Amino acid sequence: MNIPFNILKPLYETLQDEMNTAVQRVLASGWYILGPEVEAFEQAFAEYHGLPYAVGVANGTDAIELALRACGIGAGDEVITLSHTAFATVNAVERAGATPVMVDIDPVTYTISPAAVEAAITPRTKAIVPVHIYGQPADLDALQVLCERHHLLLIEDCAQAHGARYRGRLVGTFGAVASFSFYPTKNLGAFGDGGAVITRDPQIAAKLKSLRNYGQTAKYHHEEWGMNSRLDEMQAAILGVKLVHLDSHNATRQALASVYDRGLSNVTIPVIGANAQSVYHLYVVRHPQRDALMSALKNKGIGTAIHYPIPNHVQPACAHLGYSAGSLPATEQAAREILSLPLYIGLSPSEVEEVCAVISHEAGLLV
């Protein structure tokens, strides 16, 4: 058996003609930065979400930082987020000049715990940044209530949840702004780095466009300190092709996840929260002897990964924030037990069934 954790080539092969046409169009245009391809993708991405504005940026980390800065969040402000996420989320809060306040997760869904968020709110808190982890929406009902009660901004990190829905509505449309990553492994991935921020606020959109381009408001006119964070034409053209197929690709991922749900035993399968529709950026199971199971699967030719093995609050870079081992127990226990299984466009249902059989057998031996 040889089933890798993830491969990207099959998806390209299904869209090869469309992608090659888009790439050739960009190469022939002679325009490679902030041109018509970026404008077309921004418009299409905004329309997909039913919002008026999308601003393309260089990557998902910049997207979070720029979203915070465009909302006026910076030095002296606290931003509540979770530890159980890619380091990029916390890193972006620091880069914006604010202080990340990391809280624990719901141990069942792995999304941010609204109760933990409420307990962490102080007079310095300015925003909540939930991450729709693994493609599953956070508890947006509870988070919106907290934001309204305490006059906080809701800034959604949708890096893993392109096309996911909560109460039938696309994530990214609940907060003041939402950030996205187009890293190649994402449900909507480029062939390099890329990101975007969406909003319904024209002032925030204008601020984002200025900040991504050195704080420039007109050519050679710089009103403030910005950064170089521009989505390039090539990536925008590729993303424009893939956006058309996003919902069908997500449906494929959901179908494969259903095969896993039916076929797995002796491990804890994902639990999707109330009102949430996951797009399964990752299919994550749980087992108390995770490392032994991971090793057994590797020996059988099945690739796996861990998202994420070291919680952010105990990373050396976060030592100044004052957390220690034991600070966020649900997060730390999950980090010891979770395992991401193969799930990608090109993986067949029969291959998923083979993986299920091996996992169920090997996990049963470890019980």
Structure tokens given for 34? 């902030």
DSSP assignment of 103-131 equals: EPBPTTT-SBPHHHHHHH--TTEEEE--B
What Cα–Cα distance (Å) separates residue 240 from each residue in 62, 97, 256? 20, 33, 25
| Percent above pLDDT 70 for the chain | 100
Q: Are strands 125-128 and 78-82 parallel, antiparallel or unpaired?
A: parallel
Task: Give the mean model confidence (pLDDT) for residues 215-221.
Answer: 93
pLDDT of residue 243: 98
DSSP one-letter code for 273? P
Which pLDDT value is given to residue 348?
98
Give the separation between CA 120 and CA 104, rounded to whole angstroms.
Answer: 10
Residues 107-120 have pLDDT tens digits of 999 999 999 999 99
Cα separation, 319 vs 362, in Å, equals 38
What is the predicted pLDDT for the residue at 210? 97
pLDDT mean over 208-230: 96
The string of pLDDT tens digits covering residues 324-334 is 999 999 999 99
d(CA 63, CA 320): 24
**Residue 287, pLDDT score:** 98
Q: Which domains does the chain have, with CATH numbers?
A: 9-102+110-244 (3.40.640.10), 246-366 (3.90.1150.10)
Pairing of the two strands 53-57 and 99-103: unpaired
Q: What is the pLDDT of residues 151-194, one digit of tens each?
A: 999 999 999 999 999 999 999 999 999 999 999 999 999 999 99
Per the prediction, the chain carries an average pLDDT of 98
- The residue with tokens 């083979």 is 354
Alpha-carbon span 164 to 161, nearest angstrom: 5
Mean pLDDT score, 83-89: 98
- Contact between 327 and 271 under an 8 Å Cβ cutoff? The reply is no
- Matching residue, tokens 């007079």: 123
When pLDDT is cut at 50, 70 and 90, the band that residue 366 belongs to is: very high
Strand ranges for the chain from DSSP E: 53-57, 78-82, 99-103, 125-128, 153-157, 165-166, 169-170, 177-181, 195-199, 216-218, 221-222, 276-277, 283-286, 338-341
Give the per-residue pLDDT at 367.
Answer: 75
Phi, psi torsion values for 317, nearest 5 degrees: -65, -20
pLDDT reported for residue 1: 86
pLDDT band at 104; cut points 50, 70, 90:
very high
Q: For residue 264, what pLDDT is reported?
A: 98
| pLDDT computed for residue 35 by the predictor | 96
Residue the block writes with tokens 């069934």: 353
